[in-house]
Amino acid sequence: MPTLIDKHLAYVDNATVSAQKRQQKLWKAVNGKRTKGGILPLTDAVLDEYIQAVRMTASLMIDIEMVRDEYLAEKSGKSASSKRKSKVKRKSKPKSASGRKKR
């Protein structure tokens, strides 16, 4: 039986494939509207759609990273949220002046 992580990964995978296909289709349309000098049509609505598709693909990459973190945390027996919190604590701890050696 597939786990919740497996289901989420399948959803993200399918959404990524769809977004990339849309992105490629729109890029071909934008390229077809280039001027004789090879300049992109900056005021075209298709370019705006293409930019939106690229942003969607980028946000799906973040989802894939989150699923990967959850999967690795599940394999190691830790929760991903506690793993992320410990990373933040390690990064955000400032060195205190009292911890330094006195001369």
Q: For residue range 39-68, what is the model confidence (pLDDT) as tens digits?
A: 988 888 999 999 999 999 888 999 889 888
Structural domains of the chain, count: 1
Q: What is the pLDDT of residue 27?
A: 93
**pLDDT-flagged residues of the chain (< 50):** none
Q: How many Å apart are CA 64 and CA 14, to the nearest integer?
A: 11
Write out the residue range of the structural domain in which residue 36 sits.
4-79
Look at residue 89 and tell me if it is in a domain: no
Q: How many Å apart are CA 72 and CA 63, to the nearest integer?
A: 14
Look at residue 96 and tell me if it is in a domain: no
- Axis crossing angle, helix 45-76 with helix 4-32, rounded to the nearest 10: 160
User: ∠49-18-51 over CA atoms, to 5°?
Assistant: 20
Q: What is the pLDDT of residue 22?
A: 93
Q: What is the pLDDT of residue 24?
A: 94
